[in-house]
Amino acid sequence: MFAAFLQYLFSGLTSGAIYALAGLGFAIIYNSSQVINFAQGEFIMIGGMSSATLVASGVPMPLAISLAMLISMAAGIALEKFAIEPARNSDVVTIIIITIGASIFMRGAAQLIWDKEFHSLPAFSGESPIAVMGATLMPQSLWVFAVSGVVIVALWWFFNRTMFGKAMLGTSHNRLAAQLVGVGVKKVLLASFALSALLGAVGGIVVTPITFTNYEAGIMLGLKGFSAAVLGGLGNGGGAIVGGLIVGIAEALASGYLSSAYKDAIAFVIILFVLFFMPNGLFGKRGTDRV
Amino acid sequence: MATLLEISGLTSHYGRIQALKGIDVTVAEGELVALVGANGAGKTTLLRCISGVQSVTSGSISFAGQDITKMPPEHRVGLGISQSPEGRQVFGPMSVEDNLRLGAYRRHGPSIKADLDRMYEMFPILYKKRELPAGTLSGGQQQMLAIARALMANPRVLLLDEPSMGLAPLLVAEIFRTIVALKEAGTTIFLVEQNAYAALAIADRGYVLETGSVVLNDIGSNLLANDKVKEAYLGL
């Protein structure tokens, strides 16, 4: 009984950590531009696909992983430079639709560059499962937890301890004030896309040994990251992390106790629930400001 | 005195509505220049144009002899144009100290820390509340923070937009004392105010703005004595 629960919890936490990273990616771009970037999932896919094919073609794993992160960041920067920035005077909704178009484009490009097959990456440190109180934990899951933890701490440090991080935060709180103290908001926007792409890539790379990846793996991962961000309160970093873990655990429990057929539905049930009953999410800003 | 800021023939639009209709304003080094006028006259728009966050339709702005009409806002801050905007616009969820440090965003080096200490000396209340989110400060304290944040850029000209708006009379007096002290320390100030009497009383020169045009331009004491100004803005 308990062993089964623990097993579901492990698998939920593993996917939840990836949703949390994706959710953080949504939050960072949303904060700097009020745009919801529906190409976030494609960053995850590009990270996974690039690292998998590079390793398969004989590139040593650490180098392949670094290259995959760079490739994904380049995709993020290109998206901002060539699709978002030229439209910067348009409505937010217009820009969101541009990101949907960009995600379709990236999936198409991935089909051409790679193929429609599933790709995998060898586990970072072996495949022998670890027994924990009757349940088993794959070593790769530990990698997922550790890497996500390190990324979250690094992000916290970046936003709270570096001037550029603070400038990005400041821009999200008050764009006009940020401009008036000399923050280049164009640079902030570009950095937010690069950072979100990097987060997505990291998530995509560490999870590929467990889940495999293909050209359209980004759709589901992106949408679940989006539900994590909405559940936590759009634009709230801590909320995105908690939201990601909740979505991951909820879907693992639902597929364990109900039916695995419902696994993918859970994230969407959560979105609907949030939108109906608490549109600000768990930790979102209330719709009021002191003036 | 050398001219620091020179605005000539400036026009600006919000959509199809013309907010500024050919403004000529100069501010010399070390001067305190006041711009007064009713709500909607275009005072804030003019300051937004100077800072580069509002687009200019025609005319030019030059600063220390350099044409900055098309320069992006962050580079203007680097040149020494710093603004304390209308409505304070503090970074609400961030600490008072982070707000001040962001004020020095374009600067580097140890002089920032010295200036931070100077601000805390000038506004002791900010030192007391330095770790609190700026949004929890009272209106007067937020105004002090906004001015201090603008000063952290070590500006050559300080643009103040309605520093007395929404404050209790006691606080208004305190803010104006601060402005006088800054002027005496040699800071060049361009002050925009609806509180025309207080602004003109401390200004070297003043401009009166009406629906996007400068209608009067004289030394502060002359404007205070001007019948038209008295009638329209001072309620005398």
How long, in residues, is chain A? 291
- Is A183–B105 a contact, with Cβ atoms under 8 angstroms apart? yes
* Any A CB within 8 A of B79 CB: no
User: pLDDT higher for A282 or A196?
Assistant: A196
User: Residue A152's pLDDT is what?
Assistant: 96
> Which residue shows structure tokens 């002791």?
B124
- Is B85–A176 a contact, with Cβ atoms under 8 angstroms apart? yes
Q: Is residue A71 part of a domain?
A: yes
Q: Is residue A290 part of a domain?
A: no
* Any A CB within 8 A of B102 CB: yes
Full pLDDT tens readout for chain B, 236 residues? 689 999 999 999 999 999 999 999 999 999 999 999 888 899 999 999 999 999 999 999 999 999 999 999 999 999 999 999 999 999 999 999 999 999 999 999 899 999 999 999 999 999 999 999 999 999 999 999 999 999 999 999 999 999 998 888 888 999 999 999 999 999 999 999 988 888 999 999 999 999 999 999 999 889 988 888 887 776 65
Q: Is residue A291 part of a domain?
A: no
**Predicted confidence (pLDDT) at residue A85 exceeds the cutoff of 80:** yes
Q: Is residue A284 part of a domain?
A: no
Q: Which two tokens stand for residue B219?
A: 């030394």
Q: B209-228 b/e with 16+ CB inside 10 Å = b? A: bbebebebbbebeebbebee
3-state secondary structure B58-124: EEEEEECCEECCCCCHHHHHHHCEEEECCCCCCCCCCEHHHHHHHHCCCCCCCHHHHHHHHHHHHCH
Q: How does pLDDT run across A247-291, given as a tens digit for each residue?
A: 999 999 999 999 888 888 998 999 899 889 888 888 876 554 444
**Beta-carbon neighbour count of residue B56 at 10 Å?**
19
Q: How does pLDDT run across A158-171, given as a tens digit for each residue?
A: 999 999 999 999 99
Q: Is residue A166 part of a domain?
A: yes
Boundaries of every domain in chain B: 3-234
Q: Is residue A72 part of a domain?
A: yes
User: Residue B235's pLDDT is what?
Assistant: 63
Cα(B142)–Cα(A174) distance, integer angstroms? 14
User: pLDDT higher for A216 or B39?
Assistant: A216
**B3-234 — its CATH code?**
3.40.50.300
- Is B74–A183 a contact, with Cβ atoms under 8 angstroms apart? yes
User: Residue B212's pLDDT is what?
Assistant: 93
Per the structure, the count of domains in chain A is: 1
Nearest to B94 among A163, A169, A289 (CB): A169
Q: Is residue A288 part of a domain?
A: no
Helix (H, G, I), strand (E, B) or coil at A146: helix
Interface test with B, best of A180, A190, A236 (most B CBs within 10 A): A180
Q: How does pLDDT run across A107-141, given as a tens digit for each residue?
A: 999 999 999 999 999 999 888 889 988 899 999 99
Size of interface A-B (CB pairs under 8 A): 72
Q: Pairing state of beta strands B81-84 and B157-161?
A: parallel
Cα(A71)–Cα(A290) distance, integer angstroms? 43
Cα(B71)–Cα(B63) distance, integer angstroms? 11
Share of chain A above pLDDT 70, in %: 98
Average pLDDT over residues A64-78: 97
How long, in residues, is chain B? 236
* Chain A residues lying within 8 Å of B47, measured CB to CB: none
Cα(A223)–Cα(A203) distance, integer angstroms? 14
* Any A CB within 8 A of B82 CB: yes
Q: Which two tokens stand for residue A7?
A: 């097993």
* Any A CB within 8 A of B112 CB: no
User: Residue B176's pLDDT is what?
Assistant: 94
- Is B77–A167 a contact, with Cβ atoms under 8 angstroms apart? no
Nearest to B53 among A163, A173, A176 (CB): A176
Domain coverage including residue A166 = 2-125+134-277
ipTM over 0.85: yes
Q: Is residue A22 part of a domain?
A: yes
* Any A CB within 8 A of B64 CB: no
Q: Which amino acid is at B81?
A: I
CATH of the domain at A156: 1.10.3470
Nearest to B74 among A176, A179, A291 (CB): A179
